[in-house]
Amino acid sequence: MTSALQMIPLNKLVASPRNVRKTDRKIDVDALAASIAACGLLQNLCVVANQDGKFEVDAGGRRLAALKQLARDKIIPKDHPVACNIVTIGEGREVSLTENVHRVGMDAIDEVEAYGALIADGGTPEDVARRFGVTRRHVDQRLALSGLSPRIKAAWKRGDVSLDAARAFCLVEDHAQQDAVFKSLGKPVTHATSVRARLMEGRVRASDRLVKYIGLEAYERAGGAVTRDLFDADAVYIDDPALVARLAEEKLEAGRQAWLDQGWGWVDAHLGQGRPDGYAASRLQPIWRDATPEEEAELQRLQSEIDTLDEALDQDSVEDDPRWEARDTLAGQLETIRQAARVWPPTLIAHAGVVLSIDFDGHSCATCGFIRQDDEKTVRALLAKAAREEAGQTDEDIPDVEPAGQGPASDIDLPKTVIRDLSLARTRAIRMRLAERPETALAVAVAAFISRSAFRCDLAGVGISAHAASVEDDDAFADTRGSLAARLPQEADVLEWCLSRPAPDLLGILAVLTAAAIDLTHEKGASGDASRRACADRLAMALDIDMSHHWRADASYWSRLSKAQLIAAVETAPRIEAMACDQRADVLKAYAKLKRDELATKVEEAFAGVAYLPDFIITAMAAGSFEVTDAGYAAVAAE
């Protein structure tokens, strides 16, 4: 190919219709323009002369766009001379194709070291950002990576640390701490989450419920230090959890007086997620007052409208019928009026209290009716007296009795051994009957899972628990877990809530909680790795999982394989398998001569658009997945 170098005015250069790059033609043009303004045009354009006296740029379209932008910004004149290689039309197409196909982006670690060298030579982050047309944040990220310990940078170059994991190490600047965590992890280090968890031990995330409650700004105003991940805006860590707890407690305490003014005997603030200690097993419950005439009239009106809608919907309803929304609105209004009739007896609440706490989403909540153990006898006596008065009896008519569900007062006088034997007998009966009632057993299991997973406490007397594993989920499952958390009742109401749910709803909740408790992440060689893999294999088979829908072999995968593994993989690429034997042998021989990084790039290109899966995550067929039919036997016999 021959070409002539010539300086051509910028205003005589136009984009070529033959340029093979049809997409992303103007990507990062701002950065390229900044680079040209700082360092000049480092690569000539390849142009073809046309009949209008213009020159069509076949190779260098982005450089032309950057130069035009500099001219519009009046940084260079419109007729700025541009070094161009003049080629023929045929040569232009070839040059354009070659330049775009064989272009290799700069490796991240090379860019890191280059930025670090510029700063070492006296440059500032602002200078680097302006010179290369990138953001200051981008420069800060690269400089943070350049500040990694020598051991981790060496491991990154070898492929023993992924880029994501290297970014996670930047959370701290202390090389000794970085190296200690690196040493404690299995190799290669690929999980950024594991790195962050080790580095941030003793800290909590800004997404913690207590931090949500007080607000990150309030914590920082109080002098609290924060560690932010330069590479993940959502990864913010609180360095002083004790300060967060103190601020949350003070904020909760501020709401105490309002409850005391309502007549409650006491108000406690509780930051934990389990059941508070020191309270009686039973709780005071509100009573129902009679509806006022106005409320009764409104209840009847709403119920009449709901009945009319139900009749109409039964006749001609469709799934997205807007009348369903109208019905839900009416039902909500009716329930609001009905709940307003729940009141707390003033004579009783003076001996009971309110526990203020913080839920999973960082909202304050109040649970009313807790009874301290010292007040339990007094409350029982008052309840018994109220029951007798309602029945028209006097204290002389009948002995004190407890309200339903409380148990007779004489129980407390029974010997401990008798109470133990009685409770054991009832436990045996419950176990036997529960085994015969799968719907009730399902409700109990789900209630126990919710108690442990959402409130970090056990359902009393039920030894079933699920601990949510710390795994970065796909967005879809994360949304599912968030939706479930929003539906859950208060901790004390979990069992009653579950018993009222239909079995299909319970099964759906159980599935989410069970899934959230699973963590089958493993490496190789460590204790338990083999059993975790076997469990993962079996579940993938049972769930019929196609990993090609969840994982893709990208550069970060191929770059960590050995040359032998890369050659073995590329032999199975459809494009390679389709070649004639001699051609395939020549291609594989040429690949074997490449350096590992170059070979990894070739393998990635060979599998472009192909759903490649390594054997490690291919789901095996379950036994019985295939059956030989009579037609199949006939076909075999015919051969």
pLDDT of residue 420: 55
pLDDT tens sequence across 582-613? 888 888 888 888 888 888 888 888 888 888 87
Residue 72's domain spans which residues? 4-101
Q: Residue 527 falls within a domain, yes or no?
A: no
Q: Are 306 and 334 a contacting pair, CB within 8 Å? A: yes
Query: Rg (Cα) of the chain, in Å, rounded?
Result: 36
Amino acid at 190: T
The conformational region for residue 461 under phi > 0 = left, psi -120 to 50 = alpha, else beta, is left
Answer yes or no: is 429 within a domain. Answer: no
Model confidence at 316, pLDDT cuts 50, 70, 90, reads: confident
* CATH of residue 68: 3.90.1530.10
Cis bond upstream, residue 188 (ω within 30): yes
Rounded Cα distance between 510 and 466, Å, is 10
Dihedral sign for Cα atoms in the order 604, 607, 610, 616? negative
441 plus 403 within the same structural domain? no
357, containing H or E segment: strand 353-358
**Arithmetic mean of pLDDT, 323-328:** 85
List the Cα angle 536/539/543 in 5-degree steps.
135
The answer on 157 and 92 residing in a single domain is no
Peptide bond into 574 cis (omega under 30): no
User: For a pLDDT cut of 70, what percent of the chain falls above it?
Assistant: 74
pLDDT at 431 over 70: no
- On whether residue 413 sits in a domain, the answer given is no
User: 568 - beta bridge partners?
Assistant: none
Has residue 176 been placed in a domain? yes
pLDDT at 102: 43
d(CA 194, CA 522): 12
CB 45 within 8 A of CB 5: no
> Using CA atoms, how far apart are residues 157 and 13, in angstroms rounded to an integer?
42
Residues contacting 1, CB < 8 A, separation 6+: 87, 91, 94, 95
In this predicted model, what pLDDT tens digit does every residue of 128-170 receive, in sequence order? Answer: 777 666 677 777 777 778 788 889 888 888 888 888 888 888 8
Residues 6+ apart with CB under 8 A from 338: 299
H helical segments located in 551-626? 555-558, 563-570, 574-577, 581-592, 596-606
Q: How confident is the model at residue 517 (pLDDT cuts 50, 70, 90)?
A: low
For residues 12 and 154, membership in a common domain is answered with no
Q: Within a 10 A sphere around the Cβ of 132, how many other Cβ atoms?
A: 19
Rounded Cα distance, 270 and 253, in Å: 10
Question: Three-class SS of residue 468?
Answer: coil
Q: Is residue 398 part of a domain?
A: yes
Give the list of residues 6+ apart from residue 369 with CB closer than 8 angstroms, or none.
283, 284, 285, 286, 344, 349, 352
Q: Which two tokens stand for residue 434?
A: 């529960």
Most confident range, picked from 15-24, 548-557, 599-608: 599-608
The number of distinct structural domains making up the chain is 5
Q: Is the pLDDT of residue 9 over 90?
A: yes
**Residue after which a domain boundary falls, among 358, 390, 407:** 407
635 falls within a domain: no
Lowest mean pLDDT across 235-249, 350-364, 507-521, 606-620: 507-521
Is the domain of 129 the same as that of 95?
Answer: no
Are 610 and 573 spatial neighbours (Cβ–Cβ below 8 Å)? yes
Q: Is residue 435 within 8 Å of residue 450, measured between CB atoms? A: no
Return the closest-CA partner of residue 382 out of 354, 341, 352, 355.
352
Confidence of residue 218 (pLDDT cuts 50, 70, 90): very high
- The DSSP letter of residue 560 is T
**CB-neighbour burial class of residue 111 (10 A; exposed 0-12, middle 13-18, buried 19+):** middle
State how far the Cα of 249 lies from the Cα of 214, in Å rounded to an integer.
9
> Residue 203: CA atoms inside 13 Å, Cβ hemisphere, count?
20
Q: How many helices (H) and strands (E) does the chain have?
A: 30, 14
Query: Which distant-in-sequence residues (6+ apart) come within 8 Å of 127 by Cβ?
Result: 118
Terminal C-alpha separation, the chain: 58
- In a shared domain, residues 261 and 398: yes
- Average pLDDT score over residue span 442-464: 70
Average pLDDT over residues 345-353: 89
User: Domain holding 225: CATH number?
Assistant: 1.10.10.2830
- For the chain, the average pLDDT equals 77
Residues 115 and 95 in one domain: no
As a residue count, the chain comes to 639
Based on the fold, state whether residues 487 and 506 are members of the same structural domain.
yes
Q: What angle is formed at CA 381 by the lines to CA 373 and CA 289, rounded to 5 degrees?
A: 100
